[in-house]
């Protein structure tokens, strides 16, 4: 009986599983990779970035907007954003950094020192 | 009296179904080649036309447009003949010129959206705010467009 009650509680919890994949740009330089993801309506507080093995997951939850009166026309999607990327093993996952500005998330993924191209001095 | 309307000979050349079918194949060809290519690219419907919401309350119309990663000065908002236009341009960034590009899904270039407003607005009181990649334009309704309550004395 106890189990049943617990199950019902879980079922009542609001779970949002619908996400939209944000549009991204990915660049590679000698220093590393840069990922830019468009997430309009997301602030720093709504961001969640997780690194697991060689996968990075970016999740952006929209800042709740106060509804104004009556909607006349709607095109914007209200779902949250999520997308998963496979990482190049050359990335130093301890040095990943991220920022969000005007709805664009920028994740900087530096390559580890040992794989960066460098010049060898000849004595 | 002759009631059959007179027609100039050149205009009566009705090619019948033959002409229709060649028109159809022309349309098919149009959709196969250039439009098919356009429709496959993700920017065909979404990119150059940013998503937009319009809502209304007693005093205002509110228009919200998703414009992630813009500079304020690259967004233009204007009102003309009761239509609100939002346009701008996202420029490519110089710093990625030499970089290897793996994905380029973000829209680059010019965009424009125009909304015909359902009622008159006070043009001098329109306000715009750009925050978290969303442009919000608040357009106060003109006095004559606001709903009025008139108390009628009934004797």
List pLDDT tens digits, range B12-28.
445 455 556 667 777 77
Residue of B nearest to A35 (CA): B103
Mark yes or no for CB contact A29/B99 under 8 Å. Answer: yes
List strands edge to edge, sheet with A70-74.
A70-74, B52-56, B60-66, B134-140, B127-131
| pLDDT at residue B47 tops 70 | no
| pLDDT at residue A70 tops 60 | yes
Confidence band for A7, pLDDT divided at 50, 70 and 90 = very low
Q: What pLDDT was estimated at residue B34?
A: 54
| pLDDT at residue A61 tops 70 | yes
Contacts of B67 in chain A (CB under 8 A): 40, 103
Round the average pLDDT of chain A to a whole number and report it. Answer: 85
Q: What pLDDT was estimated at residue B11?
A: 46
Q: Which of A33-47, B11-25, B127-141 has the lowest average pLDDT?
A: B11-25
Residue of B nearest to A40 (CA): B133
Which residues contact residue B111 at a Cβ distance below 8 angstroms, ignoring those fewer than 6 apart?
Answer: B47, B48, B49, B50, B87, B88, B89, B90
pTM above 0.80, yes or no: no
Q: What pLDDT was estimated at residue B19?
A: 58
pLDDT (mean) for B58-77:
94
Q: What are the tokens at B120?
A: 């008159």
Spell out where chain A has E strands. 19-20, 24-28, 32-38, 42-52, 55-62, 70-74, 80-86, 97-101, 104-110
Percent of chain B residues past pLDDT 70, beyond the cut:
72
- Mutate: best of B73, B127, B134, B139, partner A, most A CBs <10 A: B134
Mark yes or no for CB contact A26/B96 under 8 Å. Answer: no
Round the average pLDDT of chain B to a whole number and report it. Answer: 80
Which residues contact residue A66 at a Cβ distance below 8 angstroms, ignoring those fewer than 6 apart?
Answer: none
| pLDDT at residue B29 tops 50 | yes
- Alpha carbon dihedral A75, A79, A80, A83, in 10-degree steps, equals -90
CB atoms within 10 A of CB A40: 26
Burial profile A54-92: b = 16 or more Cβ within 10 angstroms, e = fewer: eebebbbbbeeeeebeeeeeeebeeebbbbebebeeebe
pLDDT (mean) for A44-71:
90
- Antiparallel, parallel or unpaired: β B109-116 and B83-90: antiparallel
| pLDDT at residue B135 tops 50 | yes
CA A81, CA A94: separation in Å to the nearest integer? 24
Q: What pLDDT was estimated at residue A84?
A: 96
pLDDT (mean) for B22-47:
57
Question: A35 to chain B, minimum CA–CA distance in Å?
Answer: 9
Confidence band for A67, pLDDT divided at 50, 70 and 90 = confident
Contacts of B98 in chain A (CB under 8 A): 29
Q: What pLDDT was estimated at residue A98?
A: 96
Q: What pLDDT was estimated at residue B40?
A: 46
Mark yes or no for CB contact A103/B132 under 8 Å. Answer: yes
Q: What pLDDT was estimated at residue B41?
A: 46
């Amino acid at each position: 009986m106890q189990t049943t009650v617990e199950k019902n509680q879980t079922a009542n919890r609001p779970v949002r599983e619908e996400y939209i994949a944000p549009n991204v740009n990915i660049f590679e330089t000698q220093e590393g990779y840069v990922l830019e993801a468009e997430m309009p309506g997301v602030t720093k507080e709504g961001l969640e970035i997780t690194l697991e093995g060689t996968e990075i997951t970016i999740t952006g939850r929209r800042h709740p907007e106060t509804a104004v009166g009556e909607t006349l026309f709607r095109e914007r999607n209200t779902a949250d954003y999520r997308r998963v990327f496979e990482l190049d093993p050359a990335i130093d996952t301890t040095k990943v950094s991220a920022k969000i500005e005007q709805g664009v998330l920028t994740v900087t993924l530096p390559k580890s020192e040992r794989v960066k191209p460098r010049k060898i001095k000849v004595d | 009296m002759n009631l059959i309307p007179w027609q100039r000979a050149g205009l009566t050349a009705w090619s019948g179904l033959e002409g229709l079918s060649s028109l159809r194949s022309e349309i098919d060809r149009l959709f196969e080649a250039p439009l098919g290519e356009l429709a496959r690219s993700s920017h065909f419907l979404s990119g150059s036309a940013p998503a937009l919401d319009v809502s209304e309350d007693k005093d205002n119309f509110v228009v919200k447009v998703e414009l992630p990663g813009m500079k304020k000065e690259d967004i233009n908002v204007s009102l003309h003949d009761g239509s609100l236009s939002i346009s701008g341009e996202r420029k490519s960034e110089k710093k990625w010129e030499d970089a290897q590009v793996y994905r380029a899904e973000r829209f680059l270039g010019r965009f424009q959206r125009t909304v015909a407003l359902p009622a008159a607005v006070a043009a001098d009181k329109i306000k715009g705010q750009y925050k978290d990649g969303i442009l919000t334009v608040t357009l106060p309704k003109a006095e004559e467009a606001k709903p009025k309550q008139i108390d009628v004395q009934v004797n």
